[in-house]
Copies of this chain bind each other. A is one copy, B any other.
Amino acid sequence: MNHLSPHDVMAVFLALAALLASAKFAGELVKKLNQPSVLGEIIAGILLGPTVLGHYRPEIQGFLFPQSGPVALVLDGIISISVVFFLLTAGIEIDLASIFRQGKAALLVSVFGMVIPFALGLLSAAAFPNLLGADNGADRLVFALFIGTALSISALPVVARILMDLGLHRTEMGTVVMSSAMFDDLAGWILFGLVLGIMNPNANTGHGVRHTVVLVLGFATLMLTVGRWLIHKILPFIQAHTTWPGGVLGFIFALTLASAAFAEYAGIHAVFGAFITGAAVGESAHLRKRTSEHIHQIVTNVFAPLFFASIGLHTNFITNFEPRLTAVILAIACVGKVLGAGWGARLGGMETRTAVGVGLAMNARGAMEMILGILALQAGLIHEPMFVALVIMALVTSLISAPAIRLLIRRKKSTSLKEVVTSPLFFNNLVSDTKNGVLQEMCAKAASLVGNAPERCFRLVTERERVSNSGWRFGVAVPYARVDGLLRPLVAIGKTNKGVDFGSRDGRPARLIVLILTPDVESQQELLADAGQLFSQKETVDRTLAANTFVELIAALNAPVK
């Protein structure tokens, strides 16, 4: 094999380390501001790309991310694999069954939410190609189809995230939006495959557009029917006869890589094959949660950030930023989607306020517009300012979605233990060794912190305790009470080596005591539910008991239940 020189190998690893580290850092930072982490990941790429680093220190930028040569080729290959893996997980999240059994409202939202922005984009692009950033010499029909597609796709992962953050994912609105977004995602990818096929003269098969269209539709149809059925039959066989989960993981990744190769052969992009394969695999009830969890965690946290950060490397986001073009694209995108999806929801029988919420939720765009943009840029269909405008449109629609819905429907984020507990209320070693002693000790500190009467807190907690014991499994006790006059919930967490009897059903004394004092029923329920989820896992209990500092305590509580 042709080998990379040690210098090239170093450059590749350095570039990947720089991309991943800055993407993760910026991603977590914007998450603290309640924004989707993809925003930070893209900003990190813009900082490392021609826009900032290339402007101030072009020699460093050129060394890390060269424009040509072996390092550029290898990085391009790795980014291609990253985005293929990312689309695999996106596909796994699609729930085909829920698409097929969706009701009238969801069907109308799907169709209207897709057709109206598509038509609006198509017509605007056909009427004003130059205003909308067509490259000179671009095929007008292809360009119009591209704009229509780029504006009609919702970003399922972003939409799901927003609904979950707002606590809306189990509501009627949430399920309608989710299954519509899934439908749009699936239909959008197939449409995208077709546009790509028309866009690129096929170098692999040497056949024309019609051939590509047949391959795309044929592959999607076969994979989602026969392929899905076959996978469902094969998975138990693999799980029975191979190491678990190694055999299944190998099967899924090999199938994804093969489908990606086929999609490239068919004249469209590899990601299409990966997405459809993911949708077919994720559908099988035999795919275990732990298996898909391994894929999901490594891909979303290592490969996806590499891809998103690489978007910023493509062009200069400042010199190529054209405010008017960006504003036009953004306006058409928002109007088409909110109007289309909202109208569908209204026709489906939802009240106006909810229907607008549906439109706003469906309005979030994401990775797909960007992938489409990259490919269109490479194919010479759009110029760089249009690419920048598309990326900004995808980001802005994702950003405004959650605050807009919040404003409309007024939901707040649910409270969790780790957000409420404060450093003074962490008792690393409780002094008392009786139930009443422990409760008195914790109530005294908690009440004094907010200027409340300790005696009253203690009385309320012990009164509640008489109704039912607060001892849980694994040596955890969760006493709680409603205390009128508190301005915010209080959580105190105490550890004791001695073990205090809180009357748990398994008879074990409590070594971890979590005291929850709230002004209202709602936050009480949320905090109790959070404690219930956290401490149903022995590992979390052990970690919490092992925490000796407040930071270690928060780390222990920061474990999502899967």
Q: Mark A residues whose CB is within 8 Å of B.
A: 1-7, 9-14, 16-17, 20-21, 23-24, 27-28, 31-32, 37, 65-70, 72-78, 80-81, 84, 200, 203-204, 235-247, 249-251, 253-255, 257-258, 260-261, 264-265, 267, 270, 285-286, 288-290, 293-295, 297-298, 300-302, 305, 313-314, 378, 418, 539, 543, 546, 549, 551-552, 554-556, 558-560
Contacts and interface: CB of A to CB of B under 8 A. Distances in A.
B1 A75 contact: yes
Nearest to A253: B302
Contacts of A241: 28, 32, 554
B286 A236 contact: no
B258 A21 contact: yes
A115 B297 CA distance: 42
A202 to B, nearest CB: 8
Nearest to A304: B246
A65 B397 CA distance: 43
A337 to B, nearest CB: 28
Contacts of A1: 65-68, 72, 75-76, 313-314
5 tightest Cβ-Cβ pairs between the two chains A and B: A24-B250, A74-B77, A239-B555, A10-B264, A17-B257
A254 B309 CA distance: 13
8 contacts: A9-B264, A17-B257, A17-B258, A28-B242, A236-B549, A236-B551, A244-B559, A288-B539
A48 B334 CA distance: 52
B2 A76 contact: yes
B3 A551 contact: no
Number of this chain's copies in the complex? 2
Contact of A20 (B11, B70, B254, B539): B254
Contacts of A242: 28, 31
A15 to B, nearest CB: 9
A178 to B, nearest CB: 21
Contact of A253 (B20, B74, B75): B20
Contacts of A560: 244
Contacts of A9: 77, 80, 264, 270
A240 B297 contact: no
Given A1-B75, A31-B243, 9 more contacts: A2-B69, A10-B204, A17-B261, A20-B253, A21-B258, A240-B552, A244-B558, A244-B559, A290-B539
Contacts of A72: 1-2
B240 A24 contact: no
Nearest to A555: B239
Contacts of A378: 3
Contact of A539 (B245, B289, B301): B289
B77 A4 contact: yes
Contacts of A286: 552, 555
Given A73-B70, A78-B77, A249 B65 contact: no
A76 B4 contact: yes
Contacts of A243: 28, 31, 37
Contacts of A558: 239-240, 244
B84 A6 contact: no
Contacts of A559: 244, 288
Contact of A2 (B67, B244, B246): B67
B6 A203 contact: yes
A426 to B, nearest CB: 12
Given A14-B258, A251-B24, A264-B10, A298 B294 contact: yes
Contacts of A31: 242-243
